Structure 1
Amino acid sequence: MTVIKKIVPPIQHTDSAPFIKFLLNLLMRFKRYKQNGEFVRDGYVNCLRYADEISSRSLPPPTLPCGINRKISHNYYYDRDARRSVQPPRLIGEDVLQLTSAKKDRKNAFISLPYPVPGVGYAWKRDASEELKQTKYDPSLKELERFDAK
């Protein structure tokens, strides 16, 4: 008994309609010369990539050396992973409540916070002798001098 092999036709990829293909070949002719000087007209080159024309990208499994780095749980990167240090959000109001609820000393009524608080500025006095001519005689700046530190 003879075995008949069927020849499988190549896969038909989706492409432009024949009229569109004709227009592309007509309007988008790429002109080039071969190295021997022969003039060649390349028609429209389809830039689409199809799965059956592309080689597989399967990589071989890595060859790891035996030792402590073979297991992820014993790797030192396991301890440095930032995802394990995430905690629920902390309420900012808890620190303020602790400061206000603490017993206040009569001598030290001012509570100083351990970090700088926005809104407290640098006290400075304007010295017009060191300024340029544009700002030295400016009436609006002269008016603002009353807010300078004394």
Structure 2
Amino acid sequence: MPPKPPVQPRDISPLLQMLRNALLGRQHTLAIRSPASQAVRPRSQPEPVLPEGSLHKLSANYYHTRDARRDQTPPLLLVENTGAALLAAKKSKKEKKAKKEKAAADAAVAAEETVAAEGTALAQSAVPRPGQPYVWDGRTGV
């Protein structure tokens, strides 16, 4: 088998290359950077020597063990509050709620009796009303 010719970087046909160079007035430089053209360039610094990490080997390095979304766990229960104190707290909350409801009902009954005794005109005047609106654009006759 004959030896393969070296791989040329991608470019247009030779006829179009001559036309392009004539129109540009200079030799066109390709922007494609192939590994073959980069291999002849000297390197200004040596390759880095990095320490091997926990994920440097491919064996037993499964994606599901590195997935950050699977690292999340439910919150840990530090103190479990089950006992007499919890039941007492629930009972006291229910008692407070019942007292508030009873006080609100008594206040509503007292307000209704006051309105009926004093008349509707007095009750309507006791309702707070907003003041005059502020006319910021100078209109008249609001």
The alignment's TM-score, normalised by the length of structure 1, stands at 0.32
Pick the structure with more strand per residue: 1
Structure of greater Rg: 2
**TM (normalized to structure 2)?**
0.33
